[in-house]
Structure 1
């Protein structure tokens, strides 16, 4: 923009008054600055990047976010900081990210819950299809029906017998309405014909802590959450929600062995505000893909029961569309009401 053009613009809005004139002047000044000789936009990242986690510290999603933050910080030479914003099945965090500046400095370690299922069961103030851009889907995992040792459940059959004989007495923890920890438990309870009391938490870590303490009876946990307790006798791992048994838990049966066709899993992926610059999205996706492809990183995921997916933008978006189509009839069929 030349000085001659700037003067012409100033003459054009002299007839404006008040707020309109101030806005026009600001826009014109910014335009002149952006095209002035020697001016360059600030390179990304020039300051720390925040990865918002929708649950309390210590759970599956938090663990993955911290692993990614460590590697991304090394790749880009700037800190990637984890910000835990738990509550309402992660919807508080999702809304925060949807409204954040789309400059690449606020990212979201999302789960299927915030992008797919919880919007079907909760009144929300963001549009999961329009307000986020998929960046990279990191990994997926099934769930494990995890029981307190106080009831001495040794098998899924023990749980089913107790639940049917004691309607409403089982206390089942979950990480919020519409979340996969709730839905996976509800689908099992419905199949088994068990009435239970559902207890919401701000994330998986506090729910699992209460199972360990004997404060609640059951929690449908991510595999990675319970792996540290395998063989300790502190909890009972009754069944996994995958179609078949998992290699890292060979002695834990699949729910499908008792209730054929039962299969539930979830994923964790990085997304950002929808208007993020495409070049920043591409850079984060490319570096993330390299990280997930690294054998050491994959081994760390697999050790705790997470299946590396490494789906970048288009493949990730396709999975989200497919999951919406899959879960909508399931939620409607289960009779879960919008809160």
Structure 2
């Protein structure tokens, strides 16, 4: 996994092409000093990597440093709170992700309302997930997994990258929609979860796709299906969960947000440059290399995604009775 992490960090390097791009005219001279992007999770994970990729792109385009700060803790709430209470001037931004939508219901006493207190800037990427099984699990299709989990609930422990993470929520959504009750075993990130899955300490993991292909190709793990609504280029042979559980869909996503009341022209400048990243073949490939499918689009489109995801995961949190650990 150290090699995978190193590969991801190498992908975050700025291309010569990006550095050579001219500085674009920005809103009222914005930015005139370094901008901070807050990542609410530890270095080396998907939030951190996405923040660094888009930060380096924005820095090259706008002629100022975009500095990524990792402020992990409380499922991303520590970093989020710092941003929503920052000055709404565009100099402190948040790399938003699935836990922001989950935490709105999962935590009872947050000192902010995420939808009310942030200004969506732009979606960045969506990352599919895949069901991975230890080879000892006698299931080769989603219906077989459902039947096995119903018949032998004590034999299926479901690992995750952490409580309230996108992989955890994908698994809980599966529990609800498939009518099963797999036991959740949270880890501090996907890497240790994969290690224990390979070792047989747990039997199943909803994993984000980057870093999984070698384990599948060598037979150390069995891939069952993807969580997205349609098949993905990385694993075109895998069916979707929705083929067997109609209406199922889950994915990891990343986007950029600012404090509420950030000037519209600042938001527009950032949005324009993020969208430009996906017109650049080099940047598009960098995001593809970490499993990312472009989101981009308008601030309103990203705001709708956040609202839809908040409502969706609220239903799962309430139906399962989840509480923060």
Q: TM-score, normalised by structure 1?
A: 0.75
Deviation, 1:282, is: 2.2
Distance 1:281 1:47 in 2: 16
Say which one has the larger Rg.
Answer: 1
Equivalent residue number for residue 103 of structure 1: 89
Aligned to 2:150: 164
- 2:235 maps to 1:249: yes
Deviations 1:50-109 (A, max 9, x none): 222222333333322221122112112232222233333322222222223333232111
Alignment partner of 1:282 is 2:263: no
Matched, 1:220 2:201: no
Distance verdict in 2 for CA 1:292–1:206, change over 3 Å: farther
SS of residue in 1 equivalent to 2:133: strand
- Counterpart position of 1:76: 62
1:119 Cα deviation (Å)?
Answer: 0.8
3-state SS of paired residue (1:246): coil
Q: 1:212/1:272 Cα in 2 relative to 1: closer, same or farther (>3 Å)?
A: farther
In the alignment, the residues of structure 1 paired with residue 71 and residue 198 of structure 2 have an alpha-carbon distance, to the nearest angstrom, of 23
Aligned pair count reads 296
**CA positional deviation for 1:265:** 2.7
Per-residue deviation, 1:268: 0.9
- Tell me, in whole angstroms, the C-alpha distance in 1 between the residues paired with 2:88 and 2:188: 26
Who is 2:36 aligned against?
A: 50
Judged with a 3 Å threshold, the aligned counterparts in structure 2 of structure 1 residues 272 and 201 are, in CA distance, closer, same or farther, namely farther
Name 2:104's counterpart in structure 1: 119
Give 5+ residue unaligned stretches, structure 2.
Answer: 1-27
Query: What is the alpha-carbon root mean square deviation over aligned residues?
Result: 2.9
1:146 correspondence with 2:135: no
Quote the offset at 1:223 in angstroms. 2.4
Runs ≥4 residues deviating over 6 A: none
| Partner Cα separation in structure 2 for residue 324 and residue 298 of structure 1 | 27
- Alpha-carbon spacing, 1:47–1:135, altered in 2? closer, same or farther (3 Å): same
- Bigger shift: residues 262-271 or 294-303: 294-303
Aligned-pair CA distance for 1:48: 3.1
Contact 1:55 1:204 in 2 (8 A): no
Distance 1:52 1:100 in 2: 11
Aligned to 2:17: none
Are residue 267 (structure 1) and residue 253 (structure 2) matched? yes
Are the structure 2 counterparts of residues 169 and 229 from structure 1 closer, same or farther at C-alpha, using a change threshold of 3 Å? closer
Label 1:207 to 1:79 Cα distance change in 2 as closer, same or farther (>3 A).
Answer: farther
- CA–CA distance in 2 between the matches of 1:307 and 1:155? 25
